[in-house]
């Protein structure tokens, strides 16, 4: 009798819990939503995040506040969200930097795989290896030759700073070409580009969205892109893989995360709503114009992809002997 009563009470509790979770999802969002972007304003990530944020605000009928938290390879912004209440009203607009953090930083105030729930991959976004139009470098092979002739002297910038995806893209390039590059960290892509055009940097492998306007205006010369196939935004520019570094690929994806413990129904609602937005013809065209491809995956799909990316960058960090110290 006692055992039977326990079963009934347990089943009742599950029903009540499920009903409450469904109610929470139906009412979500019940107040303004804060979306933390872990890089400074004006970067590729910030541009795409703000475009998406406006559409999310329109769809939900609630204000969406963009909160830029740059620094420490994006981990400052990540930490803000990791410690936020798990109710869906604080969202992390994350990038591939999140897959790098677990292996690059010896000490983090959060556990990347434990303290976040992946919601949806928003886009795939690639980098472009660029130089000023005044540069004597005209190809990826020119860059490799220069780097081999001057080990540790060919400087490159990273828009997200040390430990960011732009930083690791340069390290992967160096590993695969047997060269040594000089990394110069910046808080945002525009800062790196300003120094590149001003002659303080030799090359920059930053996001296509932030590089594209300068390429179109004739201030930067693209030498290669980090995708395995040529991209529609720069159809005449070879991939870095075909230009001299076979197998090279860096996908600086963007995606949404929430604090671990956020009700599954709310996660599913955010994912479904955002997926519908990014898959519309309007947003596909808008993102393509910014140098990114729309994705809109399910939480399960994004979780698998994210964990695979963590494994990839762990190997790169170890091979390059990188550390935050």
pLDDT tens digits, one per residue of 183-202: 999 888 889 999 999 999 99
Residue 164 to residue 158: CA distance in whole angstroms: 7
Would you state the pLDDT for residue 2?
A: 57
Same domain for 121 and 134, yes or no, is no
Residue 239 in any domain: the answer is no
Same domain for 218 and 135, yes or no, is yes
Cβ neighbours of residue 184 closer than 8 Å, sequence gap 6 or more: 155, 156, 157, 158, 192, 195, 200, 201
What value does the mean pLDDT of the chain take?
A: 90
Q: Which residues of the chain have pLDDT under 50?
A: 8, 13, 15-21
Same domain for 109 and 135, yes or no, is no
Would you state the pLDDT for residue 3?
A: 61
Assess contact for 162 and 183: CB atoms under 8 A.
Answer: yes
pTM of the model: 0.81
Would you state the pLDDT for residue 19?
A: 42
Would you state the pLDDT for residue 313?
A: 94
Same domain for 206 and 70, yes or no, is no
In 3D space, the residue among 313, 305, 303 whose CA is nearest the CA of residue 117 turns out to be: 303
Would you state the pLDDT for residue 6?
A: 57
Q: Domains in the chain: how many in total?
A: 2
Would you state the pLDDT for residue 97?
A: 86
Buried (b) or exposed (e) across 65-98, using 16+ Cβ within 10 A?
Answer: ebbbbbebbbbebbbbbbebebbbbbbbbbbbbb
Same domain for 121 and 160, yes or no, is no
Cα separation values, 295 from 70, 104, 117, 201, 239, Å: 25, 27, 18, 33, 21
- For the stretch 3-58, pLDDT in tens is 655 554 555 545 444 444 455 677 899 999 999 999 888 887 898 999 999 999 99
Residue 107 in any domain: the answer is yes
Residue 240 in any domain: the answer is no
Q: Which residues pair with 68 in a beta bridge?
A: 37
- Distance from first CA to last CA of the chain, Å, rounded? 61
- Output the domain CATH number for residue 283: 3.40.190.150
HSE toward the beta carbon, residue 230, CA cutoff 13 A: 11
Residue 243 in any domain: the answer is no
Residue 208 in any domain: the answer is yes
Residue 160 in any domain: the answer is yes
* Structural domain boundaries, residue 203: 127-225
């Amino acid at each position: 009798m006692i055992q039977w009563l326990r079963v009934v009470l347990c089943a009742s509790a599950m029903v009540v819990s499920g009903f409450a979770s469904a109610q929470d999802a139906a009412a979500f969002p019940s107040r303004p939503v804060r979306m933390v972007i872990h890089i400074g304003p004006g970067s590729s990530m910030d541009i795409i995040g703000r475009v998406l944020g406006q559409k999310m605000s329109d769809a939900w009928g609630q204000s969406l506040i963009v909160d830029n938290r740059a620094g420490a390879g994006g981990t400052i912004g990540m930490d803000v969200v990791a410690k936020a209440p798990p109710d869906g009203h604080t969202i992390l607009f994350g990038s591939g930097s999140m897959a790098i953090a677990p292996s690059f930083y010896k000490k983090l105030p959060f556990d990347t795989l434990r303290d976040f729930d992946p919601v949806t991959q928003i886009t795939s976004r690639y980098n472009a290896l660029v130089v000023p139009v005044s540069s004597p470098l005209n190809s990826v092979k020119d860059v490799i030759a220069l780097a081999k002739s001057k080990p540790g002297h060919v400087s490159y910038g990273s828009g997200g700073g040390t430990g960011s995806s732009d930083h690791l893209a340069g390290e992967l390039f160096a590993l695969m070409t047997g060269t040594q590059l000089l990394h110069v960290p910046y808080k945002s892509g525009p800062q790196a580009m300003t120094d590149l055009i001003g002659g303080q940097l030799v090359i920059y492998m930053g996001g296509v969205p932030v590089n594209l306007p300068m390429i179109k205006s004739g201030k930067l010369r693209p030498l290669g892109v980090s995708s395995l196939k040529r991209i529609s935004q720069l159809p005449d520019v070879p991939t870095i893989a075909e230009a001299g570094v076979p197998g090279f690929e860096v996908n600086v994806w963007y995606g949404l995360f929430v604090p671990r413990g956020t009700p599954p129904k709310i996660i599913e609602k955010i994912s479904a709503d955002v997926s519908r937005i990014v898959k519309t013809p309007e947003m596909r065209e808008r993102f393509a114009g910014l140098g990114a491809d729309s994705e809109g995956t399910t939480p399960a799909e994004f979780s698998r992809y994210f964990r695979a990316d963590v494994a990839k960058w762990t190997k790169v960090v170890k091979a390059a002997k990188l550390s935050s110290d």
